[in-house]
Structure 1
């Protein structure tokens, strides 16, 4: 089978094509022919060495993919040949709260990823795709979709206001989940064109943080001084204090990203006097994934694709992510 691997990490590292033997599923395992793989910014960080040192190199990259079940090992009772499936980011988080033994089961860093024609998964590391979704759409769910679901859906009520930072995959999923939950959505970007596209997806207000340097004050103005009930914080150090300022008393910040670095020297006093809640979101469990798919099945979300790139041109997908010009998800297709 064909696959791509990371031979070394660093600022100029690239993925390279490689051949590997076709795998065979063992007891409790499922063989999947991958049909589509989706990139997250994490994948670029892994390649550049910004995510830490992988335990093993070469490493098959990417955590997010969808495909078709083509063979079953003994004792598999949840799947049949022909099922359309996606892999879970954490292969060993079936349900409940995050525990220590979940670490070390993430795809595309600790474990080999999915940018391969074939991959074996334990059956508890897969979920079936929503019925209406294509492989391309399904490949975008495991990290961006599930992170957005856990950041928004359990914590927002009809009539509340949600602030989303940027127009990456998590924010665009969160936009649709928040609107489906009856919330008002404010979204930020440095690009008016991206803001217009986000508003076409249902956002109520767009704030350009280049033309509104104090974008938190603009958010307060849009909410009549009240602030927002929920912030989906995807950026990190450089935006955190403004996110706190834009938050209403009793509000919540779902911290899901660190694109601008890890916060240090941040004044957390507003967190206290606003009686606010700060919750880290690290994707989610398989049970969460199943719950999200049930929710997605009801609301029929819009396709969030920026670019489709053939498997033979996979390195170009990393270039697209690195450019930060994308709107939505970059997906690699495999036949």
Structure 2
């Protein structure tokens, strides 16, 4: 089947005007270079970073104009002359930081993020380095697989990137966003105990159904960190905290963590201004670590575990098409979602 000459895509042309800098337009279908693959993208998803980039609030490098989106999954439809890893028909997911292949993140790799520095996934066709995609999990559909690229890999890196989670350890997850829900699923698959926080009875019930051992309502229990600590054997504390709240929740994360535990700082939904508590890391004897998604090696390891345990992501009940992607941004910004925002692409 011959490929089309043109496609539709969402381009970020400017920042600081809400989502007005997002423009839906026609573009040429790119031709893969010698070491590149052309992917017919079939599914995409959104992350908090996708919302703040067009608003000019993203704290990492952005090079405009750029095709929006980092989460993508689809079919390889053409390969460059020197590509050896992939063939036409292979199902793949995108790697967020295209230059982060294995090991530690570095400055060079941090400037290869899709949808910010490099053209992203909110389009019908995209070229990527053959090392910039990974095998799509065989147990997931395109939209489910697309949701793994940032949120799932960030959770995986948090739990396994520094001090790998062990069976029987305790983990705290915060809220019902994509990162936290993936962390809950990965932790339970590893045989860990999970304490989740939320703000409503409805969300608490969902978390329990997903396997959370304890659910704490942070509106009702303002000292939920100490409560979490006391739920662990001997009041020792938890081995990992998935910290997505920022300044508003960091104090409680410090209360919950055990000696030599790891607090993985992933988001700042509750504010980014630091509080006067960073020196508590000394009295708590813990590690606070910023996590910037993960490497291709980690992505491949995670995919294997997802297949092994038949893990399926939690997707919001509202499904958007590519042409309605701006509505997906608004839906997520209004916090009307649970889990990952699904976007289908034809």
TM-score by structure 1 length?
Answer: 0.95
8 Å Cα contact 2:147-2:313 kept in structure 1: no
User: Does the 8 Å CA contact 1:33/1:117 hold for their aligned counterparts?
Assistant: yes
- Asked if residue 288 in structure 1 is aligned to residue 287 in structure 2, the reply is no
2:322 maps to 1:322: no
Equivalent in the alignment of 2:343:
332
Deviations 1:8-34 (A, max 9, x none): 212523322100011111111100011
Moved more, 226-235 or 282-291: 226-235
Question: Matches of 1:220 and 1:251 in 2, distance apart?
Answer: 12
CA positional deviation for 1:225? 3.0
What are the Cα deviations for residues 94-152 of structure 1, in whole angstroms up to 9, with x where unaligned?
11111221121111111111100110001010101111111111101111111111111
Structure 1 moving runs of 4+ over 4 Å? 52-55
Q: For 1:94-105, what aligned pairs fall within 5 Å after superposition? A: 94-105=101-112
99, 120, 130: which one aligns with 1:123: 130
2:231 aligned partner = 222
Equivalent in the alignment of 2:67? 60
Q: Which moved more, 1:262-271 or 1:21-30?
A: 262-271
CA 1:216–1:52: 2 relative to 1, 3 Å? closer
| Residue in 1 that maps onto 2:39 | 32
Contact 1:240 1:263 in 2 (8 A): no
Deviates more, 1:239-248 or 1:30-39: 239-248
After superposition, the Cα gap between the structure-2 partners of 1:239 and 1:52, relative to the gap in structure 1 and judged at 3 Å, is closer
Q: Does 1:273 align with 2:279?
A: no
Counterpart-to-counterpart distance in 1, 2:114 and 2:24: 18
Q: Deviations over 1:255-309 (max 9, x none)?
A: 1222223242432333112221222211111111111111111111133111321
1:8 paired with 2:8, answer no
- Give SS of 1:296's match: helix
Q: In the alignment, is the contact (CA less than 8 A) between 1:245 and 1:270 conserved in 2?
A: no
**Would you say 1:167 and 2:173 are equivalent positions?**
no
Q: Which moved more, 1:39-48 or 1:268-277?
A: 268-277
Partner SS, residue 207 of structure 2: helix
Tell me the SS of whatever aligns to 1:121: strand
Note closer, same or farther for the CA distance 1:53–1:128 as it changes in structure 2 (3 Å cut). closer
Q: How far apart in 2 are the matches of 1:170 and 1:276?
A: 21
Moved more, 104-113 or 261-270: 261-270
Once the two structures are TM-superposed, the CA of residue 228 in structure 1 deviates from its matched residue by 1.6
Structure 2 residue aligned with 1:178 = 187
Deviates more, 1:138-147 or 1:253-262: 253-262
Contact 1:238 1:263 in 2 (8 A): no
Quote the residue 2:150 is aligned against.
143
Gap runs ≥5 in structure 1: none
CA distance in 1, matches of 2:263, 2:240: 6
- Secondary structure of 1:48's counterpart equals coil
